[in-house]
Amino acid sequence: MDALIRQMFAIQAHTADGRRAKATVLLTCIMGSEWTKTDKDADYDIEMARKLLIEFIGGEPGEMLRSQLA
């Protein structure tokens, strides 16, 4: 999986779908389990990074992540 992720991130994303794919891989494959914990006391930096990346992902995948982390 590491080799596939490195290959994917080496390719520049030129479209919204490409950027969405990279953000999704970052959140679901690269970030540690702490990233996905849902609690009201999440650190400010994690909360803001989540919101920004979910905004970048957008569409139905973004809404799914938003509901999981709410």
The DSSP annotation for the chain comes to: -HHHHHHHHHSPP-SHHHHHHHHHHIIIIIS-GGGG---TT--HHHHHHHHHHHHHH-HHHHHHHHHHH-
Confidence bin at 37 (pLDDT 50/70/90): low
Cα 5 to Cα 12: distance, rounded to the nearest angstrom: 13
pTM here is: 0.62
- Read off the tokens for 70: 């709410």
Domain range holding 7?
2-69
| Residue 36 clears pLDDT 70, i.e. is over it | no
Indicate the number of domains in the chain.
Answer: 1
For residue range 46-70, what is the model confidence (pLDDT) as tens digits?
Answer: 788 888 888 888 888 888 877 877 6
Cα 47 to Cα 41: distance, rounded to the nearest angstrom: 9
